Amino acid sequence: LHDSLIAAVADAADLPALEGVRVGALGKQGSVSALLKTLGGMTPEQRQTEGPRINGLREAVSAAIAARKAALEQAALDQRLASERIDLSLPAPDAPAGSVHPVSQVMDELAEIFADLGFSVATGPEIEDDWHNFTALNIPESHPARAMHDTFYFGDDTARDGRRMLLRTHTSPVQIRTMTSKAPPIRIIAPGRTYRSDSDATHTPMFHQVEGLVIDRGIHMGHLKWTLETFVRAFFERDDIVLRMRPSYFPFTEPSAEVDVGYTLDKGRRVIGGAMPDGWMEILGSGMVHPKVIAACGLDPDEWQGFAFGCGIDRLAMLKYGMDDLRAFFDGDLRWLRHYGFAA
């Protein structure tokens, strides 16, 4: 029995086969276990000679099984190491890299340009109330500007303290939030998403604006014009850009001005810049902050003045990067982004 069991252990080709041999010899019904049971029926003399033989057999078989098990496990490990080896010389698969969307890139550029002029970045909620979005900005309940803005309102059941909730129609409520939470002097820009119920090639229901606000003592239109000129020249990276200010009307600024940038024609294409413009393109609305707005924020308009402006970011990006369809900005089409060099 000893020799045949040792041979069976050596012949076991894998771990399941070896386990079969173990159960056949040492298991409850195994051949070695059966021999051990015979010891009970023996005389003391027989047991004295047979006991050590049978126990010796059991130990020899267990030892052989343990050794074979270790050998089989080592072989299995060697095989795995050989088959799973990583070939470090293979080229790595392309890892798709993300990129910064043109709108986000323009927001970053704006923050950098204005940081150099001493402005910090402020934010406000996209879900606003009508007091911050309209009333505090001198747009009373009945004012046609409320309708002009094509506002997305939330249901009356969302009203808080008698204020209707809405998607902000411009970034100007951040002016109010800043003036009511920080003491002047104030120099901030507020880039972000804005919403109006409007949709065609040049309007999307969601779009981006950047607000600018300066509140200090002795601020006048000259500061506004210089700031806008400096900003536009830095943004379009040309020193020969001229601005034109046209009198306009916003309820929250007085006086108000719409600002155009001069463009020149290059083979029929409009290029921003040129000391002698061929035409003008409107880029933003601006003005001196209305005394009523300053008072609504709890500041004394006789002590504090300032200017504000609001500018469409998507429009700026289109002009800077020569893009022509606003809607494509929000389609997330990688081919479009690649075409303008914004995705790998």
- How many angstroms separate the CA atoms of 247 and 242, rounded? 17
Site residues for ligand PHE, 294-333, by CB under 6 A, read 308-310
Residue 178 binds to ligand PHE (criterion: CB under 6 A): no
The distance in angstroms from the start CA to the end CA of the chain is: 73
Residue 108: strand, helix, or coil: helix
By C-beta, is 250 or 342 nearer to ligand PHE?
250
109 is in an annotated binding site: no
Under DSSP, the state recorded for 223 is H
Task: Tally the C-alpha atoms within 13 A of residue 195's C-alpha that lie toward its C-beta.
Answer: 13
Of 124, 184, 192, 287, the one binding ligand PHE (CB under 6 A) is 287
Least distance CB 245 / ligand PHE (angstroms)? 12
State in angstroms the smallest separation of the CB of 286 from ligand PHE. 5
Question: Under the criterion CB under 6 A, does residue 133 sit at the interface with ligand PHE?
Answer: no
Between CA 64 and CA 53 the distance in angstroms is 16
Q: Does 186 bind ligand PHE (CB under 6 A)?
A: no
Closest separation between CB of residue 195 and ligand PHE, Å? 11
Paired sense of beta strands 120-121 and 186-195, if any: parallel
- The size of the interface with ligand PHE (CB under 6 A), counted in residues, is 10
The amino acid at residue 213 is: L
Amino acid at 320: K
CB of 287 to ligand PHE, least distance (A): 5
159 SS3 class? coil
CB 188, CB 224: distance < 8 Å: no
User: What is the C-alpha R_g of the chain?
Assistant: 41
Asked if 195 touches ligand PHE (CB under 6 A), the answer is: no
Q: Which among 39-47, 118-126, 160-168, 280-288 is the span making contact with ligand PHE, rule CB under 6 A?
A: 280-288
Q: Which is nearer to ligand PHE, 2 or 182 (CB)?
A: 182
Examine residue 253 and tell whether it contacts ligand PHE (CB under 6 A). yes
Task: Report in angstroms how near the CB of residue 86 gets to ligand PHE at its nearest.
Answer: 57
The sign of the dihedral angle between the CA atoms of 324, 329, 330, 333 is positive
Binding-site residues for Mg(2+)? 254
Binding-site residues? 254
Return residues touching ligand PHE (CB under 6 A).
170, 172, 250, 253, 285-287, 308-310
